[in-house]
Structure 1
Amino acid sequence: MHQVIGSGLVPWPKRLTAGSPRLEDIGVSPEEFHQETSIWQARVNDYWKQMKSVVQKNSLRDVMDMNSNLGGFAAALKDKDVWVMNVAPAHMPARLKIIYDRGLIGTVHDWCETFSTYPRTYDLLHAWKVFSEIEEQGCGVEDLLIEMDRMLRPDGFVIIKDKSSVINHVRKFVTALRWDGWLSEVEPSFDDLSASEGRVLIARKKLWDEEVNAI
């Protein structure tokens, strides 16, 4: 598909990594945009290295980025055969237009509320700073974990990148949620987006037959 949608947009797939003409509308410079794009490519490469031993070919199809910002996470998956739902925070809805300009899809949502989707829709949920942000709003971490579990397919993955106190709290619920099919926890490499991010937790939800056998 080579159709250009909107004024000043380059054809697909260059749109994924080219700066949108509307970046100025949200106060982001082209330099900041390209820097974030590079950072997310490096982060996603690290995620996949950690998951390499447990991710089978074509096992990840439907992915959600729960805090999409400028769409860097989804753009970094350009060489993967996946479909990504980008979720822009309700307090930053204008950033959704940058998602669209990149040729991606998305929606706006407040994670203090449930997300309108069928249960067990996603193979991977990526939560960057989502838990610390809802904590600041006075919403419960436990409620969001239950909502994520509802959306996540058995054998699916969650990637939670947040401050250390959040990761420590989430770890208390991993076994109860049956997210202990496989675990990896690391301190991420420092980059210009890492000021408040202490650790990365990657967890895999067990298959139902594994859950039955464990009883």
Structure 2
Amino acid sequence: MEICLTPLPEVSNEEETAGGEVSKWPKRLNSVPPRISRGTVKGVTAEIFQQDRKVWQKRLSYYKSINRKLGQPGRYRNLLDMNAYLGGFSSALADLPVWVMNVVPVNVPKVNTLGIIYERGLIGTYQNWCEAMSTYPRTYDLIHADSVFSLYKDRCKMEDIVLEMDRILRPEGGVIFRDDVDMLVRIKTITDGMEWDSRILDHENGPLEREKLLFAVKKYWTAPAISDQQI
């Protein structure tokens, strides 16, 4: 088990906090995590952290203007962020009564940020999206997929990822895809075949951005009843 454990830094006296002291909740959510302050996460600085926080505040405001149910308490309870990075999407939702699982994808060229997510007071895990996710007994009301399909485009079929999303998404649950417009067009072909309601929308910065949004809803449907004549 030793190879799976990441030991905390040693301290010189009892008054020091191994790994760095974190602020109390909810202040710790928006405070610069100790891992970033110490510079132990390559490529992530305090400035990048603060910029990411502001970006997600803007993005969530845009999401709410498109899907007004997102701001309604109780409509979405269990949420999944498939590519959480620093946990910005989850932190922007802190004023709503929701539970968010923040996923850091494995086997992709991205910095490991799960420790930052935990230091912000959020919950998270690793996941390879070419494989099934262990979700029992939980399913999700809303899934957020930021650039997931671009990350895995050379690793597995996008149909397999969408089918896994369908499996863990509740009927009438929603999905927010963020990706290159060409990728979203291909994804929409799949979701249309699955009879999801979906539409492609412009980026929050305007129509000139190649990155677009795809909002989708998994429809609640049942098999048609069999009449006596069909028996």
Instruction: Give me the TM-score of the superposition, normalised by structure 1.
Output: 0.86
Residue 206, structure 1, aligned to residue 219, structure 2: yes
2:200 counterpart residue number: 185
Deviates more, 1:160-169 or 1:21-30: 21-30
Aligned pairs (5 A) from 1:35-184: 35-52=51-68, 57-91=73-107, 92=110, 94-118=112-136, 121-137=139-155, 139-180=156-197, 183-184=198-199
CA contact (8 A) 2:70 2:76 kept: no
Residue 13, structure 1, aligned to residue 29, structure 2: no
How much has 1:39 moved relative to structure 2? 0.1
Distance 2:40 2:19 in 1: 15
2:9 counterpart residue number: none
Q: Which amino acid aligns with 1:188?
A: H
Structure 2 unmatched ranges of 5 or more? 1-16, 226-231
2:5 counterpart residue number: none
| SS of residue paired to 2:131 | coil
Distance 1:77 1:136 in 2: 32
Residue 25, structure 1, aligned to residue 43, structure 2: no
Deviates more, 1:142-151 or 1:170-179: 170-179
CA deviation string 1:86-125 (max 9, x = no partner): 0002144731000000000010111111111138700000
Higher RCO (CA 8 Å, separation ≥ 6 residues): 1
Distance 2:158 2:56 in 1: 25
Distance 1:198 1:132 in 2: 11
| SS of residue paired to 1:26 | coil
Question: RMSD between aligned alpha carbons?
Answer: 2.5
CA deviation string 1:7-33 (max 9, x = no partner): 321110011111101012112110100
CA contact (8 A) 1:122 1:151 kept: yes
Distance 2:79 2:69 in 1: 19
| SS of residue paired to 1:86 | strand
Identity of aligned residues (%): 41
How much has 1:57 moved relative to structure 2? 4.1
Q: Which amino acid aligns with 1:201?
A: L
Distance 1:72 1:110 in 2: 20
CA contact (8 A) 1:118 1:151 kept: no
Distance 1:119 1:109 in 2: 17
Change in CA separation of 1:30 and 1:36 when aligned onto 2, cut-off 3 Å:
same
Distance 2:69 2:29 in 1: 28
Distance 1:189 1:148 in 2: 24
Distance 1:134 1:188 in 2: 21
CA contact (8 A) 1:119 1:150 kept: no
